[in-house]
Amino acid sequence: MTPARQLAFAVLQAVETAGGYAGELLHSPRSRGLSPADRRLATELVMGVLRWRAQLDYVIERAARRPAAKIAPEALTALRLGAYQLRFLSRIPANAAVNESVDLAKAAEPHLAGFVNAVLRHLPRDPVAALLAAEPDLRRRREVEFSHPAWLLERWSRHLGPEAAAAIAEYDNQPPPTAAWLDGAAVPEGVALAPGRLLTSAHRVVSGDVVHTAAFQSGAIWLQDEASQLVAHLLEPGAGDTMLDACAAPGGKAALLLRLAPRGRVVALELHGKRARLLRRRIPDPRLAVIGADATRPLPVSGGFDRILVDAPCTGTGTLARNPEIRWRLAPGDPARLAALQTTILANTARALRPGGRLVYSVCSIEPEEGPAVVDRLLALAPDLRVLPAADVLARLRAHGTLRPEAPDFTVGPFLRILPGAAATDGFFAAILER
């Protein structure tokens, strides 16, 4: 078995059985020692399987003559890996795809090898459109065609329109661009960058492994989606502002705020101790204070912040191209559940904002419950806050040369809303408030 396929199998098993996140696992210690080519193949296999899971399961079920839920987890992971290679990666010989998947199953559970071998050798090779032509269940047909849960596609069609829903799903099923910004560093050797699409300070990674460069390890280069970078710029901090980043890990926005305010200070709150320690190591700047704290409870810091950023926990439906496993974990009740959490965090952190100060609330979600509805609830709890028109802030960023002249105007009413793929970025919602 090749190291790439062994890593892909282990990562997919961890994603399915332990709730892991593929992006983190692919860069975990288990990937050490792999060649760049093996890391690329492992990433292609893992992300491809997660993006196209519904379609892969559909053809697997036809060959296995049983539901995917009735197949042993180790066998199902091996089958998905084999099916993805057979249907999506023409450069890989079919025998290699089948034989290595059988070996992976055999290494996990020896008695599964024959079953995996039989299913993959009878796997349908017809285009998915031909396979779905006779599918009587319209919801199932749509779910397989776009490889997203049917309820999520229906929700987007209802709120955004069928064409927008289809465009988002199609974007989610492609590898998204990798964006970065440099903190005064030269471009690392072996890495090629191109200009960003939204921000003049942003770059797109054209080639190279940024994560394994010394510049990345030292915090001189940050991988951060351009829409996420834009959220930090919405705060427009003054040079010496005191800022609060209420949900700070992994730290990209905190690092960017320190760069935007050269004499400023940032207090970063993070609930999870491990992530807080990683953040502290990643940003050694003495102007940053990292505090392990729960933003839903009274803050362990005094108030009077000039700027507060609340990039709140959310469904993440704006990041399904980058984090494809999320789509299979979400449930219909999650947007409302997380909106309640977001409201609590906002109401708690807003108390620390000084008069005249600015608070930016953002989520990498495109669900309405997590956007304007949360802002409405916050304003009912804190009537001394007012919403600033995002269009005015974007106009200033454009005039100052921060936002590219050709960047679209992503506003809906007074809010910022970027749908996935609209500017080759993740989807985001942001509201700008002032006390």
Listed by start position, the domains of the chain span: 3-145, 224-434
Judged against a pLDDT cut of 80, whether residue 113 lies above it is answered with: yes
Q: What is the pLDDT of residue 68?
A: 96
* Furthest CA-CA distance within the chain: 69
Q: What is the pLDDT of residue 218?
A: 86
- 309: helix, coil or strand? strand
Judged against a pLDDT cut of 80, whether residue 408 lies above it is answered with: yes
Q: What is the pLDDT of residue 248?
A: 94
Q: What is the pLDDT of residue 155?
A: 98
Q: What is the pLDDT of residue 241?
A: 98
Q: What is the pLDDT of residue 185?
A: 76
Strands (E), 177-329: 179-182, 192-195, 202-207, 221-223, 242-245, 265-270, 288-292, 305-311
421 HSE (CA, 13 A, CB side): 15
Mean pLDDT score across all residues of the chain = 95
User: How far apart, in Å, are the Cα atoms of 315 and each of 79, 83, 363, 371?
Assistant: 28, 29, 8, 11
Decide the pairing of beta strands 221-223 and 179-182.
antiparallel
Question: Domain spanning 3-145: which superfamily?
Answer: NusB-like (1.10.940.10)
Q: How confident is the model at residue 131 (pLDDT cuts 50, 70, 90)?
A: very high
45-61 mean pLDDT: 98
309-334 mean pLDDT: 98
Q: How confident is the model at residue 382 (pLDDT cuts 50, 70, 90)?
A: very high
Q: How far apart are CA 386 and CA 197, in angstroms?
A: 30
169-175 mean pLDDT: 97
Instruction: List residues with catalytic annotation.
Output: 364
Q: How far apart are CA 369 and CA 341, in angstroms?
A: 11
Q: What is the pLDDT of residue 262?
A: 96
195-218 mean pLDDT: 92
User: How far apart, in Å, are the Cα atoms of 369 and each of 159, 375, 429?
Assistant: 11, 10, 11
Decide the pairing of beta strands 353-363 and 305-311.
parallel
Q: How confident is the model at residue 269 (pLDDT cuts 50, 70, 90)?
A: very high
245-268 mean pLDDT: 96
The answer to whether 312 touches 420, Cβ cutoff 8 Å, is: no
Q: How far apart are CA 102 and CA 107, in angstroms?
A: 9
Q: What is the pLDDT of residue 205?
A: 96
Q: What is the pLDDT of residue 309?
A: 98
Q: How confident is the model at residue 390 (pLDDT cuts 50, 70, 90)?
A: very high
Reference 204, options 405, 404, 399; nearest CA is 404
What phi-psi label fits residue 230: left (phi over 0), alpha (psi between -120 and 50 degrees) or beta? Answer: alpha
Own/partner long-range contacts of 22-30 (Cβ < 8 Å, ≥24 apart)? 22/46, 22/47, 22/50, 22/323, 22/324, 22/325, 23/322, 23/323, 27/211
The answer to whether 408 touches 338, Cβ cutoff 8 Å, is: no
pLDDT top residue among 423 and 83? 83
Q: What is the pLDDT of residue 189?
A: 87
* Domains 3-145 and 224-434 in one fold: no
16-23 mean pLDDT: 92
Q: What is the pLDDT of residues 322-380, one digit of tens each?
A: 999 999 999 999 999 999 999 999 999 999 999 999 999 999 999 999 999 999 999 99
Q: How far apart are CA 55 and CA 130, in angstroms?
A: 13
Q: How confident is the model at residue 183 (pLDDT cuts 50, 70, 90)?
A: confident
pTM for the predicted model, two decimal places? 0.94
Q: How far apart are CA 362 and CA 416, in angstroms?
A: 9
Does the domain formed by 224-434 have CATH 3.80.10.10? no
